[in-house]
Amino acid sequence: MGRRGRQRAVIAALLHANHVVPVAGLIDMVWGASAPRSALTATQRADAARLSWTEMTAMATQP
């Protein structure tokens, strides 16, 4: 899976409303047993991007 595909997989997993998804679970979903050293950082960056998107969406929808 390419970089964009991994980003989409992480973001899709993070969008499960009302479900806690542990970081280790996200890494396993995206990379499985072949997770690179950078998996934790990549996962954290994807989550930060999701949070930024959520905040921007919330601000755009406020009256």
Quote the pLDDT of residue 16.
Answer: 67
**Does residue 1 contact residue 9 with C-beta atoms inside 8 Å?**
yes
Quote the pLDDT of residue 17.
Answer: 62
What's phi and psi for 57, nearest 5 deg? -65, -45
Number of domains in the chain: 1
What is the pLDDT averaged over residues 38-57? Answer: 82
**Does residue 32 contact residue 25 with C-beta atoms inside 8 Å?**
no
Quote the pLDDT of residue 40.
Answer: 92
What's phi and psi for 11, nearest 5 deg? -65, -40
